[in-house]
Amino acid sequence: DAGVIQSPRHEVTEMGQEVTLRCKPISGHNSLFWYRQTMMRGLELLIYFNNNVPIDDSGMPEDRFSAKMPNASFSTLKIQPSEPRDSAVYFCASSLGGWRGYTFGSGTRLTVV
Amino acid sequence: SQQGEEDPQALSIQEGENATMNCSYKTSINNLQWYRQNSGRGLVHLILIRSNEREKHSGRLRVTLDTSKKSSSLLITASRAADTASYFCATDAGSGGSNYKLTFGKGTLLTVNP
């Protein structure tokens, strides 16, 4: 298995632009998580899905953030419009749930200028 | 909010020495997990310990859990330069079933000098 695949690896965009981050979880994993990592706040859970259904989006900072999981093999995190304070590394992780650990992707480093 | 807090924030040791990192948390948990993150990479799951377990081993890793003190420790024995990374504890305090989500601490940066 290729693991959790995220794209792009790096994204530089101008303030106000729309940004879409993509994630392909491990086949068979039924839970998918989006995290944001910054030096100041560490790893923050933004949203997670179970069997493609959003379970908890209380970590989504603002209405500018939205996430979808149209099927078991694909998820997107969209920021519209983007702002400089959104600059961070965004990680996607998947899991079989329960007593199992997460498998993380390599992350997308987002820079909003 | 951060559930787990690692201590120390940074640790520097010589190759061959043991490294001990601690984690404290605030609420009751189902399990506690440790992850490693190399610079510029994603997190890698190391070990999971359930709330009814007190100690667990995996290779050179030893994890302890004290639920009465709400604390855990990760011991890496005979450290190697390749162990240089940030180490995070993560807690699962969900209600079970589909409500399974991890809250991560801010990590301990371990540097192993050759």
3-state secondary structure of A84: helix
**Of the candidates B14, B30, B5, B33, which has an alpha carbon nearest to the alpha carbon of residue B111?**
B14
What are the residues facing B65 on neighbouring strands?
B72
The pLDDT of residue B99 is 58
Interface contact flag, B45 A107, Cβ < 8 Å:
no
Q: Which residue has the higher pLDDT, A108 or A101?
A: A108
Of A33, A55, A101, which is closest to B98 when you measure between CB atoms?
A: A55
Residue B90 has pLDDT above 70, yes or no: yes
What region does A52 belong to: left with phi over 0, alpha with psi -120 to 50, or beta?
left
The predicted-structure confidence for A2-43, as pLDDT tens digits, reads as follows 899 999 999 999 999 999 999 999 999 999 999 999 999 999
Residue B55 to residue A11: CA distance in whole angstroms:
42
CB pairs under 8 A between A and B: 56
- Give chain B positions within 8 Å (CB) of A31: 98, 100
The least confident of A2-11, A93-102, B84-93 is A93-102
The predicted-structure confidence for A49-92, as pLDDT tens digits, reads as follows 999 999 999 999 889 999 999 999 999 999 999 999 999 999 99
Interface contact flag, B102 A45, Cβ < 8 Å:
yes
Interface contact flag, A101 B41, Cβ < 8 Å:
no
Nearest CA in chain B to A49: B98
* B114 touching A (Cβ < 8 Å): no
